[in-house]
Amino acid sequence: MTLRTATDPGDYRSLLWRPPPELRWGLGAAVAVVVFFALEPLVPVWLAALGVHLSATGGLAIGLAAYALAVVYAVVVSRRLGLGSLRRDYGLAIRPVDLGIGVLAAIGVEIVRVISGVVLAQATPARPTTNVHLAGSTAGNVVLGVVAVLIAPAVEELVTRGMLMRAIRAAIVRRTPEPSEGRRHLAVDVSVLLSAAVFTALHLHEAPDLVTGVALVLGIFPIGLVVAWLATRTGRLGPGIVTHALVNALALAAALSLSG
């Protein structure tokens, strides 16, 4: 991955980037919130074991609560162990240009997803099921749309790119006092790939069968790679949030059109 030739080690876009000494959060803090999201889908299972069966609205409520807790956690980590700024700690910033970047990136991602879908269809007669579960009412679908298009992309990018990806890169460059150029490139590449892999894994609970799981990997991993590259290349989460939001919006629109 080629980064800008910025010479400021405090600029995440630069290959010379190194986390400042006052930034004390790292992999531990990032992994904690990732594990939290990995366990969140088990809540309905635990409740069902207790005899409590959630409706679609109840599932949305749990998801919203999880997103809210993740945001609060990120703020607390930033203020107590970081630089006290979501922009400086995680790159949480959006600029007008990010809308154009996100549109182009979303188009590219959708092309890759369509090609992957065609290849999968040729490889097996089984067909994957959708991972978009509509609420069953207009009001519920409106709430679902707000969560899927506005809330989920922002929070998931904050966690997987803002925290996890930066923590991975920081952990690698911090291992030596003066990391070589090769190690710096390794830190960038590993952080992008691992954050995309974790992002994909966090969605696999949505797959009820193997074919759907493969389809999810083929569809979600490219999104993770693209938005991770954008976050690294621009130093901001904005382009990735827009890309993520547009992809989710298209998936929701497709599900709504098929349900009609």
Domain boundaries, the chain: 27-259
Residue 4 — pLDDT band, cuts 50, 70, 90? low
Spatial distance between the Cα atoms of 95 and 81, rounded to a whole number of angstroms:
26
Spatial distance between the Cα atoms of 62 and 133, rounded to a whole number of angstroms:
15
Do residues 242 and 161 make contact, with C-beta atoms less than 8 angstroms apart?
no
Average pLDDT of the segment spanning 20-46: 93
Print burial letters for 79-110: b (CB count within 10 Å at least 16), e (below 16): eebbbeebebbbbbbbeeebeebbeebbeebb
Q: Number of helices and strands (H, E) in the chain?
A: 11, 0
Spatial distance between the Cα atoms of 243 and 39, rounded to a whole number of angstroms:
26
Q: Residue 24 contacts by C-beta under 8 Å, 6 or more apart in sequence?
A: 81, 82
**How many Å from the N-terminal Cα to the C-terminal Cα in the chain?**
44
What are the respective helix, strand and coil percentages of the chain, to the nearest 5?
Answer: 70, 0, 30
pLDDT of 99 higher than 80? yes
Token representation of residue 85: 């700024």
Altogether, the residues listed in the chain come to a count of 260
Closest CA to 74 of 85, 62, 60, 63: 85
pLDDT digits (tens, 9 = 90+) for 135-189: 778 888 898 899 999 999 999 999 999 999 999 999 999 988 889 999 999 999 9
Residue 9 — pLDDT band, cuts 50, 70, 90? confident
pLDDT of 198 higher than 70? yes
Tell me the whole-structure pTM to 2 decimals.
Answer: 0.92
